[in-house]
A and B are shown apart, each in its own frame.
Chain A
């Protein structure tokens, strides 16, 4: 069982390029359709819950499924399986990175890739805005954080803590009405 859990998440970790929601269909196919470790609804519920926690979706999902199937040992097997493929691939790339980058063609490739990274982050922002929903409160918080960081050199973690606390009190008040 432990080996099965490890190998399943190793497979998930090896083939999920792009991260986040791009991984969901692949995790779902393996965990729900192939292995039947979770039911469809249970899977979606667990994603909704683990998504509200810090950490990458795939790692949190591996933790949840691993615990459900085999307790603490299951968590270790699942998370190790999910992390190991990308860890090894990045390690190999990192080892040769400095020498590869001295090649003038590779240098030009990265000169083109860097602006594209900005475009991809901007597009991710666009999607986040859409999924969050636009209202005056949301937009004010986002712009406030943006300005606090850019102009006052605020630490991002500070912003998360402050607005998490603000959300708690604001929405609790709303609930009480």
Chain B
């Protein structure tokens, strides 16, 4: 019971600060769930991010559901998902009610202008930490570079890119 409460509060916190899209949430989860609470291993988390990317729905919601299941089965997944969306829904609802007033608030613009580059920095930090845990040899470096080139220059769809990387994994790591 205590564990579920802690799970809920952790994801409530993550949701409240989830500015700047899915990967910002990945950065927050990696701090809260892996480093602070040790609920899942870094390796499992990266697998979860990959699955979250390949399945329908926002990455933030998908990875929360998954982590929640790992911590507390079905109840855990429901609690983590509810936690991560509750504050965003509440804030958006308040803004919707006062939409015409809020639309022209300069103050919000100012705050966002400061937050955006900060979010970039924290995603970069998460990217480096995740790279540290997931690229373990020269084969991993080659796969990462190939996929980066693929999505950047060849405009390959990220889901297709992940499927390709899976095939590369079988070729590189399966054949000895």
- Inter-subunit contact A141/B118 (CB<8 Å): yes
- Inter-subunit contact B50/A117 (CB<8 Å): yes
CA distance A14 to B167 in the complex (A): 26
- Inter-subunit contact A53/B147 (CB<8 Å): no
Which of B22, B50, B111 has the most CB atoms of chain A within a 10 A radius of its CB?
B111
- Inter-subunit contact A55/B93 (CB<8 Å): no
CA distance A159 to B89 in the complex (A): 23
Q: For A155, list chain B residues within 8 Å (CB).
A: 31
- Inter-subunit contact A120/B162 (CB<8 Å): yes
Main SS at interface, chain A: helix
Q: For B88, list chain A residues within 8 Å (CB).
A: 53-56, 59-60, 63
Size of A's binding interface in residues, CB under 8 A: 96
Decide if A146 is an interface residue (CB 8 Å cutoff): yes
- Inter-subunit contact B161/A116 (CB<8 Å): yes
Chain A 62-100 per-residue mask, 1 if CB under 8 angstroms from chain B, else 0: 011001100010010001001101110111011101000
A interface with B by C-beta (< 8 Å): 13-20, 23, 45-46, 49-50, 52-60, 63-64, 67-68, 72, 75, 79, 82-83, 85-87, 89-91, 93-95, 97, 101, 104-105, 107-126, 128-129, 132, 137-139, 141-146, 148-150, 155-157, 159-160, 162-172, 175
